[in-house]
């Protein structure tokens, strides 16, 4: 990652975890935080490393993955602006459980383990957000196990797209660039099979692909309910 820069209170206010906190509560956090840029394809943290910092994603896109000795990868999740990683290892004093790689140039706010724990102690709302975020990840993991066990590749692709989609002008849109190879690594399928499924979904009018985004039609949601 490139040279560090100071962090402003304004930057911290863009994160849901700090929503509603007054400047007087954010200023101490800003003083102990730094901003770094992760270049495309760079590794931010590696599985097994000591957990010393928590990272908040200000801009860009990153993937969280695990791999075996043969180099085969499984992508656990994709991260975008407003999200964070590294908090689990800070809370249970464990090494990094996964590797995080920048998919695109990404600006990250970095907070040390000590300062992050202090912010949790000083701000109940931040602690509550972290707890809710961990519960959300657990539910996502449960759904992933369910889809791997009970759904075919069509169903797994559709569910993944719906989970990644945001509401934009009344439509569900995956507003981040994601390759078919990465989708395959997230759902446990081959890239070739994912390509066939995506093409079929387009032909059925269930999705519309454009550079950097995928628009989901209402029928896709009803078919995976």
Per-residue pLDDT of 13-41, as tens digits, reads: 999 999 989 999 999 999 999 999 999 99
Check: CB of residue 104 under 8 Å from CB of residue 61.
yes
List Cα–Cα distances, 163 to 105, 144, 159, 194, in angstroms: 23, 10, 6, 17
Contacts of 225 (CB under 8 A, 6+ apart): none
- Residue 2 has a pLDDT of 59
C-alpha 54: how far from chain center = 14
Q: What is the pLDDT of residues 166-213, one digit of tens each?
A: 999 888 999 888 999 999 999 999 999 999 999 999 999 999 998 889
> What are φ and ψ of residue 117, in 5° steps?
-60, -40
Residue in 71, 100, 104 with CA at minimum distance from that of residue 88: 100
Average of pLDDT values for 113-135?
95
């Amino acid at each position: 990652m490139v040279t560090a820069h100071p962090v402003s209170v304004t930057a911290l206010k863009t994160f849901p975890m700090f929503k509603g906190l007054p400047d007087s509560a954010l200023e101490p956090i800003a003083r102990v935080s730094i901003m770094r840029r992760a270049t495309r394809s760079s590794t931010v943290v590696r599985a097994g490393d000591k957990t010393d910092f928590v990272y908040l994603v200000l801009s860009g896109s990153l993937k969280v993955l695990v791999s075996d000795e043969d180099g085969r990868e499984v992508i656990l999740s994709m991260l975008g602006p407003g999200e964070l990683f590294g908090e689990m290892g800070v809370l249970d004093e464990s090494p990094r459980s996964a590797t995080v790689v920048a998919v695109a140039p990404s600006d990250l706010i970095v907070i040390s383990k000590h300062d992050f724990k202090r912010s949790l102690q000083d701000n109940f709302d931040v602690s509550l957000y972290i707890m809710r975020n961990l519960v959300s990840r657990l539910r996502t993991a449960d759904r992933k196990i369910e889809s791997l066990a009970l759904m075919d590749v069509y169903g797994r692709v559709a569910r993944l797209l719906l989970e990644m989609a945001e509401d934009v002008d009344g439509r569900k849109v995956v507003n981040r660039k994601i390759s078919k190879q990465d989708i395959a690594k997230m759902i446990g399928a081959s890239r070739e099979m994912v390509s066939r499924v995506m093409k079929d979904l387009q032909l059925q009018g269930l999705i519309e692909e454009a550079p950097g985004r995928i628009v989901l039609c209402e029928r896709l949601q009803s078919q995976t309910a």
